[in-house]
């Protein structure tokens, strides 16, 4: 940005941007304040994969949900998955979004489990995992707490 100061001197402000790969110890957060730290980076070939061939970018420890009670994050995942299979946008605001029953019906009508859960296949063994995994698109952002800056 180019401007002049009160003393009529030229002022140039430069904003720099840097692309960084996540490292172990970097901090991320969802829209709902569910913060987390990268604990392990695994090659994509070793990550679990869905029947559609979708591999997760992030696997979150589910023990944070009961203590933080971030139900909005679960609703965002369900709504964004329903919107993705339907090819439309989803209103994710607090009091005007689609009810769970409607989102579940959309998923069921497109051949998915009504709660958004899926059986994933292990990338290491090639065998199905022994549990349904709540799996879908959700927004995460990087926080300023990065290992490279410390």
State the Cα–Cα distance between residues 77 and 82, nearest whole angstrom: 9
The better pLDDT of the pair 99, 127 is held by 127
Quick one: pLDDT band at residue 41, thresholds 50, 70, 90? Answer: very high
Q: What is the pLDDT of residues 83-125, one digit of tens each?
A: 999 998 888 777 766 788 888 999 999 988 888 899 999 999 9
- Predicted TM-score (pTM) of the model is 0.76
Domain range annotation of the chain = 2-149
Whether 81 contacts 100, CB under 8 Å: no
Burial of 48 (0-12, 13-18, 19+ CB in 10 A): buried
Q: What is the pLDDT of residues 54-92, one digit of tens each?
A: 999 998 888 877 787 888 888 888 889 999 999 988 887
State the Cα–Cα distance between residues 140 and 68, nearest whole angstrom: 16
Sign of CA dihedral 43, 46, 47, 53: positive
Which fold does the domain 2-149 belong to in CATH?
A: 2.40.270
User: What pLDDT score was predicted for residue 122?
Assistant: 95
């Amino acid at each position: 940005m180019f401007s002049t100061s009160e003393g009529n001197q030229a002022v140039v402000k430069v904003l720099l941007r840097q692309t960084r790969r996540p490292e172990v110890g970097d901090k991320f957060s969802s829209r709902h304040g569910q913060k987390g730290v990268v604990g392990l980076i695994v090659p994509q070939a070793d990550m679990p994969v869905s029947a559609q061939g979708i591999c997760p970018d992030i696997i979150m420890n589910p023990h944070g949900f009961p203590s933080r009670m971030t139900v909005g994050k679960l609703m965002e995942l369900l709504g964004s998955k329903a919107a993705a299979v339907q090819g439309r946008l989803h209103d994710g605001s607090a009091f005007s979004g689609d009810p769970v029953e409607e989102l579940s019906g959309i998923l069921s009508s497109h051949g998915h489990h009504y709660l958004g859960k899926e059986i994933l296949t292990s990338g290491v063994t090639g065998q199905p995992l022994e549990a349904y995994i709540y799996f879908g698109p959700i927004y995460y952002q990087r926080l300023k707490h990065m290992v490279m800056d410390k």
